Structure formats: structure tokens, C-alpha cells
Chains A and B, each alone.
Chain A
């Protein structure tokens, strides 16, 4: 089932390529053996999202890989346009009732975090 859907996808890919759009990355067909009941569940979930079974499985796998990749990255930083690349310790706002030692630890942390470049 997966293989036949992939070949349909390949035909679509060829059509898109001939229409002048950038071709998507080459796809490789694989065979997956699953319990009949599991396939029924997957098909029902795919139908509910108006997707093909192949697309549903591929999306689930990509999502899983993305989560694993994210888990292995230590810090992901989003820096809004116009924010500074560094800060001075003296500019860091102190929390209410924060001790000097705790504030110093947070200052050191924020100075380091501020220097991390945007991840994207």
C-alpha cells in the first residue's frame, strides 16, 4: 500500500517538475510491516485529517525526528529583530528581595544567554 502510494507521489512530482517549480527532494520507497489493526487505526486517523496514509505516516515520522532533534539541542534562541547582542550587568533588573549573590548569579546567566546567537 505504501509503495503504490509513493509511486503515485512520484508521478505528481514529475508533473510539478515539468511545470517549472523547484523539484522536491528525491523520495525513497520503503516497506513497513504493521499489524492489520494498527493499519486500520492509522488509515482512520489519516482519513480524519484528509491525508493519504503515506502522508500521515511520513508526517508522524518527521514530527518524531524533529522532537528528537530538539531534545538534543541544548539551547534554542529566538532573537527578535533589533534586540541587543550583549547587555551590561548593571542594566539587569533586580527581582524583589533578591539577594546580592542570587542577583549576581542571574546577571552572569543573562550575560551569557544574551551572547547566544539566533538559532534560525
Chain B
């Protein structure tokens, strides 16, 4: 599956994370010939008072139209799914276009890779920080 493609995918839901979920358009970060890492997209507006997630990338109507999408949408590079390339997850995989809606230009693909890399680094740093900030053990009988 083409890296940088927007593709029709049965993205898993929070309620049933291990099953093919609802039909969405996902962004293909990349993968192997048999498995792929897909990021979630949604055209639902984000609530105004809630801070945007760090992995959000907004596409306005014009940018969405350039990617063959009719509405403005948000790409969530912080909500990912590791999926096998099968018809259960990608319902149009056997069709000529394989369910690909559009492929991002190289420059945008590289920018999205950069944002995802920063997120992965931030996650790694947080894990390391949790590991080193454990309270020091209490020593018995010494003062």
C-alpha cells in the first residue's frame, strides 16, 4: 500500500479495538507488503474549548479538495492502527484503485513524517522520565 496515501479503511473503534470498525479515510504512514500503519482522520469539528491533540494536523476545505475530499478534516497522527492488508480492514483492496482516495505530495508526506517522529520522541521521553523519577528508596536505620 502506497506510503502517504489516504485510503478507505475500517478503522477500529475505541469500543471494539480488535475488530474492523467504521469506514473512515485513513492516512498510510507506511508498512510492509502485508501490514500497514494507518492514522485516523475525522471531519467532525473539534470542540472549541478543548485543546487540540498534539498529533492533529488540520486540512481546510481547499486543502481537503486537493486530496479529493469534500470536507475539511483533521488528521490524527496520535491515533494509529497497525493493520493487516486484508479485505476485512480495507474493503476496496481488491478494486483497481485499492480504495486510495489520494496520495500526498512528497513534501507534505515528509512533514507528516516529521510530526509523527516528534510525537514518537515525546512519548519515548515521557516513558524514560517516568522511569527515572521514581522516589528514592527509604533507607532503614541510617540518618
User: Which residues of A are at the interface with B, using a C-beta cutoff of 8 A?
Assistant: 64, 67-68, 70-71, 73-84, 87, 91-98, 102, 105-106, 108-110, 112-114, 116, 118-120
Contact = CB atoms under 8 A, between A and B. Distances in A.
A79 B52 CA distance: 24
Interface string B21-55: 00000000111110101000000000100111111
Nearest to B13: A78
Nearest to A76: B79
A71 B37 CA distance: 20
Contact size range, B: 35 or more
Contact of B29 (A68, A94, A109): A109
B80 A76 contact: yes
DSSP class of B's interface residues: helix, strand, loop or mixed?
mixed
Given A70-B53, A77-B82, A87-B35, A113 B17 contact: no
A118 B31 contact: no
A-B interface, 4 closest residue pairs, ranked by CB to CB distance from nearest: A95-B3, A74-B123, A78-B81, A91-B32
Given A93-B33, A106-B113, A80 B82 contact: yes
B35 to A, nearest CB: 5
B116 A109 contact: yes
Interface in B60-113: 78-84, 89, 103, 106, 109-110, 113
B119 interface: yes
Given A68-B50, A74-B123, 6 more contacts: A64-B47, A92-B31, A93-B1, A95-B3, A95-B4, A102-B113
Contacts of B120: 75, 109, 112-113, 116
Give the most central of B4, B79, B89: most A CB within 10 Å: B79
Contact of A113 (B32, B109, B116, B122): B116
A80 B117 contact: no
A75 B55 contact: yes
B130 interface: no
B124 interface: yes
Give the most central of A79, A109, A120: most B CB within 10 Å: A109
